[in-house]
Amino acid sequence: GIPFISFKTGEVVNMIIDDLPLFIIDNFDLEKWVERINAIMDKDYSPNYLYDIYDKHFSEKVYSDKLINIYDNLYE
């Protein structure tokens, strides 16, 4: 539930960028990172919102469903 900033790279970023666009940045300019941190803090994201985004993409249920889908497709 703690706000964070991530560089725009990798599959996890691709999965969450639509839900958390302020949390993703595509440069290494320290001033821009500070601005982004301040923008996130001003928005005051609730920990529950962040947990919900996590569950939406990375919950045990989502993982299990994806794994079952992989195995189902192997044996079709």
The tens digit of pLDDT for each residue in 21-37 reads 999 999 999 999 999 99
pTM of the predicted model over 0.85: no
Q: 33-42 b/e with 16+ CB inside 10 Å = b?
A: eeebbeebee
| Residue 25 parent element (H or E) | strand 24-25
- Paired with 25 in beta bridges are 7
- Paired with 7 in beta bridges are 25
The tens digit of pLDDT for each residue in 38-61 reads 999 999 889 999 999 999 999 999
**Structure tokens that stand for 74 in this block:** 């192997």
